[in-house]
């Protein structure tokens, strides 16, 4: 017998839109129902089992939720999702509500009700283990359940008259619920508290998903480890987050990375079946699964001119420049068919001698400022960036790079560019092993930087 359940948790993370939608739903329930600790203990959030996420009360499903980030307002694009929700409502009549979360505004419920019953049936799939949208459609229609189950279906309400939430607005919506929690209890919290609590909640979900990935690989997924008690979120609401930490800044970076990548994929959804799109999606998925230390190492490698050995928000924000992640980093992954190597960080290309040249796609997107040449940065800025890279002792394996890819910056070598306006001596670099570190220093100075158009010529 085919199952209603599924597990796509390998595509989840706590910093994704889907994860944020789940957090928002939990907070809204706590606020709407004015839950106290004893009440909260009766609720759980279940991820990737019956639906994208499910709200459990006293061990019974009470609402199921599908989250779609389609760049479309056409109801037909959401047909499979809607009929899947309706079918599950019909087969599990104890469920009170089924919600569709979208990033785009859809017609009102009455219009959707008329539209979906008149659209062609969803296409059948060949899954042997799980019911597909066509089978849910047939079950509802053949048993004359449409009126009943559509009454339980809703577009998720983010405001009284707003039944969708854009990718960029979800953080604001969550913060509205956080503030509401404290205001209704007359508790004062600082802006920093709200900021840190937001990222802590994302990390809670992300840690749960990471543990779920391990359980899935080991075949040990159970009802217990696919659910998160609401009390976990409630306890966080009652903690004090006035102090920053390295962990907090890592949460910030992860959320920024996921937001930029999700927006890139969202903007290019028309190419979702293409190989370039899938390359970027695979990169996004694989990077977000690495641990915090590996993620920070990648961020520092992508922004080699940013010195971030000290933990503060200014330097850490510099490690995920919005435009630089899109172009040249994600753009390089989209355009170049060469696979990434070394922990998803570099391209390898054999030269005429058969030796690999190591290309590092960066996030260097500095725009032209020269009055004479509007295609390149002026020499002083190029020199400054080269010096910052050479002096950045916080990147362990920078000496292994031969070529860096930027948007607009050409350098025959970091050394030549840096020495145009300044001098750098090895003595300025801190080292415990002088001989080894000096060798690395000399290799870093020889790194070449090319513009994106030049990279196309060499890598395409």
Please write the tens of the pLDDT for every residue from 290-333: 888 889 889 989 999 988 776 565 667 678 888 899 999 999 99
More confident call, 219 vs 10: 219
Domain range list for the chain: 9-237, 258-459
Average pLDDT of the segment spanning 242-266: 85
Q: Quick one: what percent of the chain has pLDDT higher than 90? A: 55
- Count the neighbouring beta carbons within 10 Å of the beta carbon of residue 385: 22
Return the pLDDT at 358: 93
Give CB contacts under 8 A, 24+ apart, made by 109-117: 109/153, 109/154, 109/155, 111/75, 112/75, 112/82, 112/155, 113/150, 115/75, 116/75, 116/79, 116/82, 116/83, 116/150, 117/146
The pTM for the full model equals 0.77
pLDDT-derived band at 70 (thresholds 50, 70, 90) equals very high
| Nearest C-alpha neighbor of 18 from the set 63, 10, 127 | 10
What's the order of all strands across the beta sheet hosting 448-450? 340-341, 346-350, 356-361, 403-405, 448-450
Quote the CA–CA distance of 18 and 15 in Å, as a whole number: 8
pLDDT-derived band at 432 (thresholds 50, 70, 90) equals very low
Q: Is the pLDDT of residue 110 over 80?
A: yes
More confident call, 316 vs 16: 16
Quote the CA–CA distance of 151 and 159 in Å, as a whole number: 20
Which of the listed ranges 89-93, 265-269, 298-302 does the model predict with the highest average pLDDT? 89-93
Task: Quote the mean pLDDT of the chain.
Answer: 87
Return the pLDDT at 435: 47
């Amino acid at each position: 017998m085919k199952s209603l359940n599924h597990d796509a948790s390998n595509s989840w993370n706590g910093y994704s839109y889907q994860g944020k939608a789940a957090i928002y739903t939990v907070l809204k329930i706590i606020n709407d129902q004015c839950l106290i600790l004893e009440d909260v203990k009766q609720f759980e959030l279940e991820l990737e089992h019956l639906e994208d996420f499910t709200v459990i009360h006293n061990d019974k499903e009470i609402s199921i939720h599908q989250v779609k980030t389609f760049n479309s307002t056409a109801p037909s694009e959401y047909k499979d999702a809607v009929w899947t929700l309706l079918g599950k409502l019909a087969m599990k009549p104890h469920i009170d509500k089924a919600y569709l979360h979208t990033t785009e505004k859809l017609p009102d419920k009455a219009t959707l009700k008329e539209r979906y019953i008149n659209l062609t049936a969803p296409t059948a799939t060949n899954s042997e283990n799980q019911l597909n949208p066509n089978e849910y459609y047939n079950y509802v229609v053949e048993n004359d359940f449409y009126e009943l189950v559509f009454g339980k279906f809703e577009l998720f309400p983010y405001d009284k008259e707003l039944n969708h939430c854009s990718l960029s607005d979800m953080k604001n919506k969550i913060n509205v619920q956080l503030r509401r929690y404290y205001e209704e209890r007359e508790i004062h919290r600082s802006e920093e508290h709200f900021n840190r609590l937001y990222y802590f909640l994302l990390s809670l979900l992300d840690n749960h998903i990471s543990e779920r990935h391990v359980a899935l690989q080991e075949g040990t997924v159970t009802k217990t480890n696919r659910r998160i008690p609401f009390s976990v979120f409630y306890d966080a609401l009652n903690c004090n987050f006035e102090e920053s930490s390295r962990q907090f800044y890592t949460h910030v970076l992860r959320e920024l990375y996921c937001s930029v990548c999700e927006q890139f994929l969202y903007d290019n959804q028309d190419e979702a079946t293409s190989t370039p799109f899938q390359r970027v999606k695979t990169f996004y998925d694989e990077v977000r699964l690495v641990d915090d230390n590996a993620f920070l190492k990648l961020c520092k490698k992508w922004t080699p001119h940013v010195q971030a050995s000290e933990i503060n928000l200014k330097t850490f924000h510099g490690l995920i420049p919005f435009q630089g992640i899109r172009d040249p980093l994600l753009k390089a992954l989209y355009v170049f068919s060469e696979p990434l190597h070394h922990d998803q960080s570099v391209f390898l290309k054999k030269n005429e001698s058969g030796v690999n040249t190591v290309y590092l796609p960066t996030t260097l997107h500095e725009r032209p400022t020269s009055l004479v040449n509007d295609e390149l940065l002026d020499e002083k800025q190029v020199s400054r960036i080269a010096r910052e890279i050479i002096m950045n002792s916080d990147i362990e394996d920078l000496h292994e790079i031969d070529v860096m890819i930027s948007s607009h910056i050409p350098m025959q070598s970091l050394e030549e560019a840096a020495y145009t306006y300044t001098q750098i001596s090895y003595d300025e670099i801190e080292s415990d092993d002088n001989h080894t570190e000096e060798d690395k220093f000399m290799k870093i100075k020889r790194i070449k930087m090319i513009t994106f158009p030049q990279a196309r010529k060499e890598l395409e």
